[in-house]
Structure 1
Amino acid sequence: MMRAPPSARRPRDPVAARRRRELWRAVYLPTVVLSLAEGMLVPVLPLYVADLGAGFALVGLALAAEAIGMLLGDVPAGSILRRFDRKVVMLTGVGVVGVAVAAIPLFGSVVAVIVLRLVAGLGAAMWGLSRHAYLTESVEPASRGRSIAAFGGANRIGMLLGPALGGVVAGAFGFGAAFIAFGIVAALAFGLCALYLEPRSATETGPRQRMGHREALRHVLVQQRRLLITAGAGQLFAQMIRSGRRIVLPLYGSALLGLDVQAIGWVLSIAAAFDVALFPVAGVVMDRWGRKAAIVPSFVIQALGMALVPLSGGVVGLALAGAVIGLGNGIGSGTMMTIASDLAPRDTVGEFLGVWRLIGDAGGMGGPVAVGAIADALTLETATLVIAVIGLGAAATFAFGVPETLGRAPVAARRG
């Protein structure tokens, strides 16, 4: 019989509980709002790029451009967090994202889409890393799984409504209106952060606080290299299947099943509904039975759902496959962020999380690119099955190659 680790049975801390309530207003709510905007792009962006005359490979590159920008921005964002207030970095990030995406319809070219999504990725790196660092510093390890799973759930709530809303707006008013709506919603997220988020400077402690960014980054790469190789490989595969589903479902529905943008939007929102329903379960599982107890089933189920996509013969079959993928992703809500927070040394949080996100964003970039390239060279069905195998690789890597981190002592404390 499995017993909850002692760390999961500690008395509830009223200070931590109050801090979590504050996080809902200052971090989770803006996250819901911006993820609603991001969700609007899921059915719209690939079809918009295809409508400009691009093939599968270029569509994949356009979808990967944001991840490429994040890839380029992750490590510099870690340096920025060492120098500037978390609130300033968050506001800058969301502002850059909103302006870049809203400008897409002004140019009407595939090149402009790729460049602007690349710029949005730079903003997203600042937005994402600053929130991750804020959460890491605000929540005790014993309740970290539930808190970060709730953060993942906040992202998923927006993704539940966003695809259907994006499909309706694009279907009624054209693709351009959906991008403009993104900018308006992003402005709302900016306003919420500006209003409610408390200023907070970097909180690294200990002798390495005085290190420069390069020295701190070198320290992370040397001292944490084994974990970054093993856990990083799992993170890479995990983000490949997660980003791959965002191109597989819309393109399969459009190119092979002949569905329009509104139908695809509803399929994606149905998948997101299953995703949202499971995020509370993910947090409880992580804090009671360990991070791996949520991670491994999550990616096995996502791989199964991806393998079902080529078997779908219409909108119902595609929605069913999407629901299975959403179910698996919901079980894994917040898992990658939680394990990174567990592993991050207390005196080099920004640098470690920057490298971790760099690895994940490489996977986020690789998923759409791989799908597009394989679909152009072979078939979309083959590309879908390759992504399913990658999902199994993520599950296997965490199952057999990464230690359990629930109850793990902070790195700085262990090293003295």
Structure 2
Amino acid sequence: MNAEKIHGPVLLSVYLPAVLLGVSAQAMLILVPLYVIDIGGSLAAAATTVGCRGLGMMAFDIPAGILAARYGDKLVMLLAIGLIGGAQVGFTLTHDISVIYLIAFINGAGASSFLLGRMSYITSVCKPAARGRVIAMLAGSIRGSALVGPLAGAALAGYAGYAAAFYTAAGCTVFAFAVIAVFALHERPLLRELRFRSVINLCIEYRRVFSTAGVAAITFMLMRSARIVLIPLIGADIGLDIATIGLIVSISATVDVALFYPAGLIMDKYGRRATAVPSSALLAMSLAAMALASGFYSLLLVAVLVGFGNGLSTGIVMTLGTDLAPPERRSEFLGLWRLLTDFGSAAGPMVIGMTVAIAPIGIASLIIGGLGGLGSYVIYRFVEET
């Protein structure tokens, strides 16, 4: 299967919107907390704003899946982008922290709904033999956005103010809306009625999948979210300045981005386990090894290993979800899958936060590494090839 047949059908309907939304979303992730502080909010308020976004994502994982099953993936993606763009503009219209919490929740709801709709859409339009490469390419574009978005957003906010940065992000979102409206295919909805009871039945019917592959998904997301917190905290703990920590994070991200497409090729040629098992083990060991970092070079070495492990795992969570989703109940299944992954993303920083309140940061890295090791064993022992 040549590259044109694999990537052609999703070039404009998936990849281009992913870049546009990725750059704007990654910029907002760093700008919104800083904006809260800039208008007089506390550090706690800034952190709560990020938490409200996470709550919005978790709250809409299952409803978005049901809506996609009833009305189709394209409509859900368009509605979700509308929520995201509205939230981005909404941040510029208020200095009330409580209102900003609500806007952040809406932003998370839109982000979750869009991710669900996109996963379901890819499952619908891409053949199983090509999904690994498509999702790896998509994940690579997201990782690339993480390099561009924060830098561009911070530069624009510093030069022209937060409002200009927020409106620019909203402009990218509007562009993504137009691209999807024109180029995304309209798939026939899978359900005639909206039924939350069907989601409960799906949990029961696929309980083994959720208790094995679902645990794998939680483990990956826990480790991925933990690494974002651990590297800067450990860097600060051992006395590195902000610029040096930023350099380490950038080098780690560069290694991560370099591996996104090879990871997809390996998945499609040798199977999902060929990347899932070694990448989860490497991530777990390198995160645990952060406890031993004592200076620039030791932390850089471990961060590079983390980047390698994360890069090798590119797309594995989304690929497993799309592979395992039953065709007739795809959207509902992916809604549950998103709920699991969002739980893992929230759990990583929470575990670190609770640990550092009573113990050194090195203990937190050992705990995260230990949890990752247990998850890696579950993947090796219980997750079957898809």
Q: TM-score, normalised by structure 2?
A: 0.86
Aligned-partner Cα distance in 1 for 2:229–2:255: 19
> Residue 375 of structure 2 corresponds to which residue in structure 1?
394
| Aligned: 1:228 with 2:210 | yes
Match of 1:340 among 313, 317, 321: 321
Deviation per residue, 1:15-70 (Å, 9 max, x gap): x9546302011111111121122332455556666774325xx6655434323211
In the superposition, relative to structure 1, how do residues 191 and 19 fare at CA in structure 2: closer, same or farther (>3 Å)?
A: same
Tell me if structure 2 keeps the 8 A contact 1:296–1:399: yes
| Aligned: 1:292 with 2:273 | yes
Deviation larger for 151-160 or 249-258: 249-258
Deviation per residue, 1:149-188 (Å, 9 max, x gap): 1221221221232233344345555666554443333233
Q: Give the residue type in structure 2 aligned to 1:65.
A: C
How far is the alpha carbon of 1:308 from its aligned partner?
4.7
> Residue 412 of structure 1 corresponds to which residue in structure 2?
none
How far is the alpha carbon of 1:289 from its aligned partner?
1.6
> Residue 53 of structure 2 corresponds to which residue in structure 1?
66
Q: The residue matched to 1:378 in structure 2 has which SS?
A: coil
Aligned-partner Cα distance in 2 for 1:144–1:67: 27
How far is the alpha carbon of 1:319 from its aligned partner?
5.1
Aligned-partner Cα distance in 1 for 2:360–2:30: 21
In the superposition, relative to structure 1, how do residues 313 and 398 fare at CA in structure 2: closer, same or farther (>3 Å)?
A: same
Q: Percent identity?
A: 32
Count the aligned residue pairs: 384
1:164-313 equivalences in 2 (<5 Å) = 164-170=151-157, 172=159, 178-202=165-189, 204=190, 212-252=194-234, 257=239, 259-260=241-242, 267-312=248-293
Tell me if structure 2 keeps the 8 A contact 1:235–1:360: yes
Q: The residue matched to 1:227 in structure 2 has which SS?
A: helix
Q: The residue matched to 1:137 in structure 2 has which SS?
A: helix
1:2-401 equivalences in 2 (<5 Å) = 12=1, 18=5, 20-41=7-28, 43-44=30-31, 52-55=41-44, 61-104=48-91, 106-108=93-95, 111-170=98-157, 172=159, 178-202=165-189, 204=190, 212-252=194-234, 257=239, 259-260=241-242, 267-312=248-293, 320-401=301-382
How far is the alpha carbon of 1:238 from its aligned partner?
1.5
Deviation per residue, 1:374-409 (Å, 9 max, x gap): 33343444333332333223322211121111xxxx
Q: The residue matched to 1:404 in structure 2 has which SS?
A: coil
User: What is the Cα-based RMSD across aligned positions, in Å?
Assistant: 3.1
How far is the alpha carbon of 1:224 from its aligned partner?
0.7
Q: Give the residue type in structure 2 aligned to 1:246.
A: I
Q: The residue matched to 1:228 in structure 2 has which SS?
A: helix
How far is the alpha carbon of 1:90 from its aligned partner?
0.7
Q: The residue matched to 1:348 in structure 2 has which SS?
A: helix
Q: TM-score, normalised by structure 1?
A: 0.81
Q: Give the residue type in structure 1 aligned to 2:364.
A: A
Q: The residue matched to 2:335 in structure 1 has which SS?
A: helix
Q: The residue matched to 1:201 in structure 2 has which SS?
A: coil
Q: The residue matched to 1:347 in structure 2 has which SS?
A: helix
Q: The residue matched to 2:43 in structure 1 has which SS?
A: coil
Aligned-partner Cα distance in 1 for 2:270–2:50: 36
Deviation larger for 27-36 or 213-222: 213-222
Deviation per residue, 1:318-370 (Å, 9 max, x gap): 55544332221111111111111111111111111111111111111222222
Aligned-partner Cα distance in 1 for 2:288–2:163: 33
Q: Give the residue type in structure 1 aligned to 2:281.
A: V
Tell me if structure 2 keeps the 8 A contact 1:304–1:324: no
Aligned-partner Cα distance in 2 for 1:223–1:210: 20
In the superposition, relative to structure 1, how do residues 85 and 324 fare at CA in structure 2: closer, same or farther (>3 Å)?
A: same
Unaligned runs of 5+ in 2: none
Q: Give the residue type in structure 2 aligned to 1:54.
A: L
